[in-house]
Amino acid sequence: MNDKQTIFLVGLKQKQFAHQCIDRAPADFMCQIKPKTRKEIQSGRFHAMCGDVARQLKYMGRTLTKDQWKVLFISGHAIATGLGADIVPGLEGEFANIRESSAQMSVKRMASLIEYVAAYGSEHGVQWSEPERPEDEEMMNRRYA
């Protein structure tokens, strides 16, 4: 079990998984249930979209995890929106992209990232998971000033 985990309770599977996590949690852990915020709705949608892409597409002939797709999307979005990339030699001689964190993105920037992923997925025939509630989809499509 991870030390910290956020589970979006958007369906029966997620609720069952949350119950399993609670059942396995050590006695000194805590559980917090709270309403979603705009950012949490966006984050949940973004991660679901990365999962959809990971299940349906390959990149350069390779199957990637949703976390690997997340890195590619955030990096590509930074280039597409003029933020650029900061590629540096890593600690072990590898190359690393010192990229922005999706957790630190504004609501407007996250909406732009979601649109970027949606465009990429649509171009490549990805079938998107449906949001649990129509108001969640409406929230994703809103432009924030």
CATH of domain 36-141: 1.10.3790.10
pLDDT at 33: 86
Which token pair is 31? Answer: 């559980």
Which residues of the chain are in CATH 1.10.3790.10 domains? 36-141
Contact 110, 39 (CB under 8 A): yes
Which helix (H) or strand (E) segment holds residue 115: the answer is helix 107-123
Q: State the chain's mean pLDDT as an integer.
A: 87
Q: What is the pLDDT of residues 38-91, one digit of tens each?
A: 788 899 999 999 999 999 999 999 999 999 999 999 999 999 999 999 999 999
Position 134 scores a pLDDT of 46
Is residue 27 predicted with pLDDT exceeding 50? Answer: yes
Distances (CA, A) of 105 to 27, 34, 102, 117: 34, 21, 5, 15
Q: Which pLDDT belongs to residue 6?
A: 81
Q: How confident is the model at residue 137 (pLDDT cuts 50, 70, 90)?
A: low
CA atoms within 13 A on the CB side of 105: 24
Residue 129 gets which letter from DSSP? P
pTM > 0.85: yes or no: no
- pLDDT at residue number 143: 44
